[in-house]
Structure 1
């Protein structure tokens, strides 16, 4: 909620409910003009103060000028609005894939990002949706999110299961949402001819992966990456939430006060029985 406003601010008022992004593109550079907003210098150098985990934040003028602040519709709760940024990142990722309805998709990793990929792909009319994880809790969530098949990567051979499920053809899209090296090999072996692999979750800097380049070339696979979300993605995410095309409320597993922020990070890192952990800065 806006509790204080600068004298030159227009189109926003005290009491407005808003969601703000910490990344704002300039909308003017060559990357922005090509629609590659997440390569913009500005998007890597903008932020709000003093940071997200505080009772109050100050938004710089650039956030207002470049579309980095969105009004929350009356029908959308603050909790649901907290998904605008993560869902916006998924919207951008599927945009990078040039996602088409009725195509099959494999989601490698079923944490919060994976759940949102599943739900967004379903909202966009995906065909068969397959999801993997090592955690039974997350796999159960993936089923609720709309996955047609979930694969326990602890017990099953992911590559064999996916190929068996697709008559040996593989899937149109593979989205890697976690940072495990083995997922890259699984992606390259399960994407079909002419398919696309999206690096959504990425491994640590310095990670080196060896893979056979010949099948990659022969299959004419496209390897893509994505980062962050631009205002256009955030607006689409907010509308998907408002229209209930992508349900998010049930993904919230914990609500904590500001003093429990450390516990929230622990829950997220342990990835045992948590999904979306919300920090309420006023508690």
Structure 2
């Protein structure tokens, strides 16, 4: 048997939310995960509720399969990938591998790459062909809607600095994704940049884009509270498509040309059409959304009309250290983005609040 170091005597059982099927999430008592060589056990400090978790609950075909799409999820599984926690157990070799000690606070990237596929061998681990993501694969990568979470031996783990503000720790994962999307946009100083969708991800993108110092930074959303927050966090201008013609406004501001960069983070099909109409010829469109339904667009706009660069953005490759640094420094602020915290026992209410999004931006479960 391999050696496991523990911070204290671990319990045998824990509370966890278990996803059995669309609409069937249950709070249960399950076994505390056992860890092996190179693995880590965290006592969960908090876990954000992502839009992907809501779509999973509602049976999105992109996740559960259907209409020719294969199922991505393997239930029953514990959801949750936006988590942080305290190191309470270390498998043999894990301390040396990750630079972690018992008692440290840590985060783990949402993907557990296989390390063997073509993409992993090229360093493109975020596109791993196997693609285990916490919260979607029973046994391989159970998530953190639980009191404890196991970090498998191929996980990508990061220690949080001792003076890191733990109240912001659940925002490391969304911010890391936001950084990658902004990097994909290749923002230049003279660019007019539009970020559509000002949820937790969009507000992170906005703050990172502000660091790039474009000529004009515009935020778009239909919720007034989010627009007000976007202005506080660095937007030069905010627009509400429910109140005005945002495409016409952006073209008016750019002598009829359109924005140079459009980053879409709302997950709404209309946001795609809006972006294609709003962006200038030879512009850069970055898509970072999980859609619950297909989007139909006129592809001739992309090629024949405007010759747009369409760039996808997926996960957070090589951005966790930057996300941790920006939050530690206070360059990116999370205090008004993390709006609600709920105990694990109230996960149903927490998911309802997160889905409605009236006053909520990012909701965090705290076991």
TM-score (norm 1): 0.89
Matched, 1:225 2:312: yes
Equivalent of residue 178 in structure 1, options 254, 259, 266: 266
Q: Report the Cα distance in structure 1 between the residues aligned to 2:121 and 2:214, rounded to whole angstroms.
A: 29
- The CA RMSD over aligned residues, in Å, is 2.0
Aligned residues: 274
Q: Post-superposition, which runs of at least 4 consecutive aligned residues in structure 1 deviate over 6 A?
A: none
**Taking structure 1 as reference, are residues 79 and 270 closer, same or farther at Cα in structure 2, changes over 3 Å only?**
same
- CA deviations on 1:74-109 (whole Å, 9 max, x unpaired) are 221222121111111111112222333442211111
User: Structure 2 CA distance, aligned partners of 1:220 and 1:46?
Assistant: 34
| Match in the other structure for 2:146 | 54
Q: Give 1 or 2 for the bigger CA radius of gyration.
A: 2
Q: How does 1:155-234 map to 2 (within 5 A)?
A: 155-205=243-293, 207-211=294-298, 213-214=300-301, 216-230=303-317, 232-234=318-320
Unaligned runs of at least 5 residues, structure 2: 1-85, 135-139
Following superposition, the deviation at residue 176 of structure 1 comes to: 1.0
Contact 1:79 1:278 in 2 (8 A): no
- SS class of match (2:90): coil
Post-superposition shift, 1:2? 0.8
- Aligned equivalent of 2:100: 12
Instruction: Give the whole-Å Cα distance in 1 for the aligned partners of 2:150 and 2:301.
Output: 52
Residue-by-residue CA offset, 1:239-267 (whole Å, 9 max, x unaligned): 22122221222222112211122222111
Give the stretch that moved more between structures: 13-22 or 212-221. 212-221
- More strand by proportion, 1 or 2? 2
Kindly state the Cα deviation for residue 215 of structure 1 after the two structures are TM-superposed.
6.3
Q: What is the match of residue 362 of structure 2? A: 276
Query: CA–CA distance in 2 between the matches of 1:21 and 1:244?
Result: 21
1:100 to 188, 200, 223: 188
Shift of 1:34: 5.4
Structure with the largest fraction of helix: 1
| Cα pair distance change 1:19/1:94, threshold 3 Å | same
